[in-house]
Amino acid sequence: MSLMELREKNSLINKKNKLITLFALFLILGVSIGFNLAFITRGPELITREKIIETTPIFEGIIGETYELNKLYEEISPSVVLIETMRGTDRSQRQGSGFIYSEDGYIITNQHVIEEGRRIRVTFPDGKIEEAEIIGEDVYSDIAVIKVDRENLKPIPRGSIDEVKPGDTTIALGNPFGLEGTITKGIISQKNRLLNTEAGFSIPNVIQTDAAINPGNSGGPLLNMRGEIIGINTAIRTETGTFVGVGFAVSVSTMERVVPSLIEEGEYKHPWIGIRGRPMNPQIAKEIDSNQEKGVLVSEVVRNGPADKAGLKEGTYTKKIWEEEIKLGGDIITKIDGTEMMNMNDLISYIAQHTEPGQEITLTIEREGEIKQKQLTMGERPEPGEMN
């Protein structure tokens, strides 16, 4: 055999050995991959939702909450309606939201949604459209009740405002800009806010949320994660006209107090004390030489109102404190029926929740350094523009 022939033979042997080695490697790798695939797919329990949650707890909240939101929406959305109001003689139209209150056709919305309504039309998620009549409306709480001629409706269950805490997840349902069946999610930013109204009074116990609400959401429900209503979406604070993260909902406790009266009598009679006031603070206390740094300083007393008849004293002079003109010299309300009043919010909330027209209450006041008690009979809040 020549040298050339020997080299060619060795080359063929080397190539053959390399091919055998390469084939062996591929065979080993294939067996390994096959084993691993068999391990991953073996037993369907290894890739179920429960197994994923069990083995990766970090995903539990995400998967669980998404599942609950889907379920909540399917359950509640059939009870949320689109409300269209034809107003006045100019035939202008306003859109808003509402929700089923009872099986026999009562629907809750905001008073400003149906204000000056000439015709009211309700569109249900199933596509049916019904004409509605106004049963009752209350401008002071911005709540209205309308009714459609339809039965076997599904009301939304009602929750408790006492269980609501800042940081809780919350859901808003409604029709922003007429976009029917919209759901948004956020948290409870705070509770027990005062919401000023165009009627000149404040709505107490209002919920603040960052769940996106926009024009058209008014009157729709704010829900907890159990699908219970905790508030009626009512207003936003904005400089642009659209949502910037601060929304407000009238609490379910206010709704529970006002709605039965609207259904039975067409109106709700709000209790009224007949004062204008401001919260005390250390600067005011120092100025008037008082030890009372908390409470409500009476600035004005409405003539012939309950406070006037009870003998409360209003401010007699004005002074600038921290660049603000403040009326001083009036009584300081510190307690109502033994309950401490820290500020104006406490006073308005207490009156709204615990009193009614004709009820007698006991005010504890400080006047010129002396503690006194005054008996006061609650009045009925006058219509807008009727106060002196």
CA torsion sign, 69 to 75 to 76 to 81?
positive
176 and 245 together in one domain: yes
Q: Does residue 372 sit within a domain?
A: yes
Q: Does residue 6 sit within a domain?
A: no
Mean pLDDT of 269-287: 95
Q: Which of 30-39, 54-63, 194-203 has the lowest mean pLDDT?
A: 30-39
H or E segment at 263?
helix 252-265
Q: How confident is the model at residue 155 (pLDDT cuts 50, 70, 90)?
A: very high
- pLDDT at res. 23: 52
CATH at residue 193: 2.40.10.10
CA torsion sign, 132 to 133 to 137 to 139?
positive
- pLDDT at res. 364: 98
- pLDDT at res. 85: 95
Q: Do 114 and 133 touch, CB atoms closer than 8 A?
A: no
Domain span at residue 245 reads 161-265
Residue at 51: amino acid letter = K
- pLDDT at res. 60: 44
Rounded CA gap, 97 and 218, in Å? Answer: 6
- pLDDT at res. 41: 30
Q: Which of 64-73, 175-184, 191-200 has the lowest mean pLDDT?
A: 64-73
Q: Does residue 348 sit within a domain?
A: yes
Active centre residues (catalytic): 112, 142, 218
Q: Which of 85-99, 101-115, 207-221, 359-373 has the lowest mean pLDDT?
A: 85-99
Rounded CA gap, 202 and 189, in Å? Answer: 19
Q: Does residue 281 sit within a domain?
A: yes
201 and 239 together in one domain: yes
Last residue of a domain, one of 99, 120, 148: 148
DSSP 158: B
pTM of the model: 0.80
127 and 196 together in one domain: no
- pLDDT at res. 15: 54
129 and 170 together in one domain: no
CATH at residue 283: 2.30.42.10
Q: How confident is the model at residue 240 (pLDDT cuts 50, 70, 90)?
A: confident
Using alpha carbons only, give the angle 220, 222, 226 rounded to the nearest 5 degrees. Answer: 130
| Mean pLDDT across the chain | 86
pLDDT above 90 (res 387)? no
pLDDT above 60 (res 61)? no
pLDDT above 60 (res 103)? yes
- pLDDT at res. 149: 96
Backbone phi and psi for residue 78, each to the nearest 5 degrees, phi listed first = -65, -15
- pLDDT at res. 352: 94
- pLDDT at res. 3: 38
pLDDT above 50 (res 142)? yes
Mean pLDDT of 45-51: 43
Q: Does residue 288 sit within a domain?
A: yes
Q: How confident is the model at residue 68 (pLDDT cuts 50, 70, 90)?
A: confident
**3-class DSSP state of 207:** strand
261 and 276 together in one domain: no
List CB contacts of 291: < 8 A, sequence separation 6 or more.
285
- Cα–Cα nearest to 233, from 360, 363, 142, 105: 142
Q: Which of 82-96, 238-252, 371-385 has the lowest mean pLDDT?
A: 82-96
Rounded CA gap, 261 and 255, in Å? Answer: 10
Residue with tokens 């890739």: 47
Using alpha carbons only, give the angle 335, 231, 92 rounded to the nearest 5 degrees. Answer: 115
Q: Are strands 129-138 and 317-321 parallel, antiparallel or unpaired?
A: unpaired
277 and 376 together in one domain: yes
Q: Do 185 and 69 touch, CB atoms closer than 8 A?
A: yes
Q: How confident is the model at residue 254 (pLDDT cuts 50, 70, 90)?
A: very high
pLDDT above 50 (res 305)? yes
Rounded CA gap, 13 and 32, in Å? Answer: 29
292 and 375 together in one domain: yes
DSSP 382: P
- pLDDT at res. 153: 96
DSSP 122: E
Rounded CA gap, 351 and 380, in Å? Answer: 12
Q: Does residue 191 sit within a domain?
A: yes
Rounded CA gap, 178 and 82, in Å? Answer: 8
Residue at 58: amino acid letter = I
Q: Are strands 247-251 and 202-209 parallel, antiparallel or unpaired?
A: antiparallel
144 and 166 together in one domain: no
Q: Does residue 101 sit within a domain?
A: yes
Q: How confident is the model at residue 118 (pLDDT cuts 50, 70, 90)?
A: confident
- pLDDT at res. 38: 33
pLDDT above 90 (res 40)? no
Q: Do 130 and 124 touch, CB atoms closer than 8 A?
A: yes
- pLDDT at res. 243: 83
Tally of domains within the chain: 3
Rounded CA gap, 345 and 331, in Å? Answer: 17
345 and 296 together in one domain: yes
Mean pLDDT of 137-155: 96
**3-class DSSP state of 358:** coil
Q: Distance between alpha carbon 71 and the CA centroid of its chain, in Å?
A: 20
173 and 236 together in one domain: yes
Joined together, the tokens standing for residue 96 give: 């808003």
Q: Does residue 33 sit within a domain?
A: no
Last residue of a domain, one of 117, 148, 179: 148
Joined together, the tokens standing for residue 53 give: 């949650």
Rounded CA gap, 130 and 107, in Å? Answer: 12
